Amino acid sequence: MDNLPRFLRMFALAVFVALPVLAQAPALPERVALVADRVSVDAETGALIAEGNVTIIRGDTVVQTDRLIYDDRSGTVTVPGELTLQQADGAVLYADYAALDPDLRTGVIEGARALIDNQLQVAASAARQLDGRFTVLDRVVASSCVICEDNPVPIWKIRAERVIRDAEELQFHYENAVFEMFGVPVLYLPYFRHPDPSVARASGFLNPEFSAASTYGFGLKLPYYHVIDDSRDVTLTPFVTSDEGVLVEGEYRQALDRGYLELDGVVKLNEDDGDAFRGFLSAFGNYALGDRIVARLDATVLSDDAFLTEYSYSNQDVVTSSLSLERFVPDSFWTVETAYFDTLRENEDQDTVPFVLPQAEYRRAFDLGTMRGEVNADLLSFSREIGRDVMRASVGGGLDRTVVTAPGLVLRGFTDVAGDLYAVADDPVDGDFNEARARGQIGLEMRMPFIARGARLTQIVEPIVQLVLAEETGDPTDVPNEDSLLLEFDETSLFSTNRFPGLDRFETGAYANVGLRYESITPSGRNITGTVGRVYRDDALGSFPAGSGLAGVSSDFLVAFGYEATERLSLSGSFLTDSNLDFSRSEFGFVYTDARLDLAADYVYLEADAVTPVDRAEVQFDMGYRFDPNWAGSLNFRRDMENDAFLRAGAGVSWGNECAEFEFSVSRRFTRSNNVDPSTEFGLTFRLAGIGVQGSAAERRRQSCGI
């Protein structure tokens, strides 16, 4: 009877025994279950011996081996041969020998090898499992590189006297570590740590970035990322330059219950206390206030006009800051916004740039019998330190009805009316004045689509005619033009009843928008689209600037086309030409993508007009090419064809496999702006998989041998 309790304990460990079929029984999460082909009891020692496809399970910890010995008297589980231990966090440990406690939480392992998140490989002479949380590895070699016969030396590896893996904090702690590149020691660290590759967010240093530019010399960035809690984090990046001292970059991010907030900024640490502060601060975010009302913030404060360009943060020439409230529901919306424009242009005085407060818009659609209606209201107020201040209030509405006749003719009738009130102050010509204006239009649109369907091709030809009569009270020049200066005539505005982008100018008179649309559709995805059209007027409209393509009784001919050849190739283009085939605008685009090549090219030509006093023609080109699974290159440039000069150009090359990536780039800005001379910049970055780099190795797998 003395052996009965021992036998019962052994039976609880070996919950079910099947010969030779595997079987298993339900167990509580903290109990231990064993499955094996054969289970026996040693008559001399009383030890339970499991053999053949042995699996022992405790919760989420699983041990697999061919032979296992459980000694009830010593309370140890011994695995005398090769084994695999899979831990709750997904780490897999391979070993030649192990002695563990019955709960698989503590023990000694020899000849240990671990694979963490299918990326980081760790080999050690011995390992100890402590309390199910810590794994202590002695005399360790770690790397995420695949080692093969053609390339037995990994790109990088770490040799350490001791490594401790914390399964709860998911951190690796290294003691007396030597970092090697291609077998050559390059760095010794008495201690360092890095997060487990499976961790999505963990505090620590990120990959360094090296750069060089003629504006600041050599530069080094070493970002430090700190997790504050589940919803907040911050990144601080010292940016050390050889010629311009030290800058500090900062980024703060916070996820809110109803929104998001991000703060970005850069501060230059001046070597001379007399130097002025240089840097910028940006804030971006949104917050849902309830009842579908959302507040949005996008603001930037700059120390000076040249900072962004000088340190390669941005090439934009106007920085816009805005704060807004908006509400969108199915049949209506409203927005209220304030905006500040910080000009970085050398020839533009900031005091002449308007500050918008407020800009408000309201739209509501409704059904009125068989017609669709809309009411709208707009409010705009802005001021300048030097120049004209304007406040404008507008209200309007319209009705629209569409009828499809039996032969397929689509008829659409529409009418719109609106009124505007202007209050103008400090106008350089007219001083202070108020102005009221009424405007309205009525029109008829006729479409007749012709469709030809075949087994391999569907074609649609659709002639379209719009007849519009529009009028406004007073002289159009009685009110200032602030929002209708940049006019564009293309396929999207050919059938627009008012081609001015804002409300300060209104298209009047009797005119007809006439055009033809074509589309072909094939099962293979080789589709063609085309549009050709022209605008005819009873009288020339003086509000249209020269060069817009709309001045005169007849507009320029508009031609636009597109071609898509499955997902790889697409072509697009449009141009404006008069009856003498003199082009005032041309645009062409080309995109090609396959397994190795990404190619995009764009050409734009703009004839001189009231806004642009000289002709402009530019080509933009971007290309990426994958030479093989490891090597890739890129090339891009933007060129001024009228002046036969480059505006910018750049190239890069990268190499990567499952354990490391290197990128080198060079770029040149040929233009001078904001007192910053043309400059050349070099960049070098490298990333090591398995040390804080996210993503699974399956997604990153590339050829690593025969480099």
Please say if the pLDDT value at position 69 is more than 90: no
Please say if the pLDDT value at position 554 is more than 50: yes
Question: pLDDT band at 28, cuts 50/70/90?
Answer: very low
pLDDT digits (tens, 9 = 90+) for 425-456: 999 888 999 999 999 999 999 999 999 988 88
Residue range 401-405: mean pLDDT, rounded: 94
Closest CA to 176 of 187, 155, 197, 190: 190
Residue range 264-291: mean pLDDT, rounded: 86
Q: Which range scores top for mean pLDDT: 142-151, 233-242, 521-530?
A: 233-242
Of 166 and 299, the structure prediction assigns the larger pLDDT to 299
pLDDT of residue 113: 79
Q: 290 forms bridges with which residues in the sheet?
A: 293
Separation between Cα atoms, residue 248 and residue 240, nearest integer Å: 8
Please say if the pLDDT value at position 698 is more than 70: no
Please say if the pLDDT value at position 705 is more than 70: no
pLDDT of residue 150: 67
* Whole-angstrom Cα Rg for the chain: 36
Residues 555 and 547 sit within 8 Å (Cβ to Cβ): no
Separation between Cα atoms, residue 481 and residue 461, nearest integer Å: 39
Q: Copy the structure tokens of residue 244.
A: 């311009």
Separation between Cα atoms, residue 196 and residue 563, nearest integer Å: 48
pLDDT digits (tens, 9 = 90+) for 654-695: 988 878 888 999 999 888 776 678 888 999 888 877 665 444
Separation between Cα atoms, residue 215 and residue 656, nearest integer Å: 30
SS (H, E, C) 470-534: EEECCCHHHCCCCCCCCCCCCCCCCCCCCCCCCCCCCCCEEEEEEEEEEEEECCCCEEEEEEEEE
**Which amino acid, 95?**
A
> Among 132-136, 385-389, 698-702, which stretch is predicted with the lowest mean pLDDT?
698-702
Residues 281 and 300 sit within 8 Å (Cβ to Cβ): yes
Question: pLDDT band at 94, cuts 50/70/90?
Answer: confident
pLDDT digits (tens, 9 = 90+) for 129-178: 787 788 888 898 888 887 666 667 888 888 999 999 888 888 889 999 99
> Among 29-33, 435-439, 613-617, which stretch is predicted with the lowest mean pLDDT?
29-33
> Among 71-80, 113-122, 165-174, 660-669, which stretch is predicted with the lowest mean pLDDT?
113-122
Query: What residues contact residue 83 under an 8 Å CB cut-off, 6+ apart?
Result: 63, 64, 65, 94, 95, 98
Query: Quick one: how far is CA 13 from the chain centroid?
Result: 53
Residue range 557-584: mean pLDDT, rounded: 90
pLDDT of residue 271: 62
Separation between Cα atoms, residue 282 and residue 312, nearest integer Å: 16
Please say if the pLDDT value at position 342 is more than 90: yes
Closest CA to 131 of 109, 150, 106, 95: 106
What pTM value is reported for the model? 0.77
> Percentage of residues in the chain with pLDDT exceeding 90?
47
Query: Quick one: how far is CA 707 from the chain centroid?
Result: 32
Largest pairwise CA distance in the chain: 116
Sign of CA dihedral 487, 492, 498, 502: negative
pLDDT of residue 277: 83
Dihedral of CA atoms 420, 426, 428, 430 in degrees, nearest 10, equals: 50
Separation between Cα atoms, residue 16 and residue 493, nearest integer Å: 77
**Continuous segment of H or E residues that includes residue 288:** strand 279-290
Question: pLDDT band at 424, cuts 50/70/90?
Answer: very high
pLDDT of residue 703: 45
Planar angle of CA 80, 85, 87, nearest 5 degrees? 150
Q: Which range scores top for mean pLDDT: 1-5, 91-95, 688-692?
A: 91-95
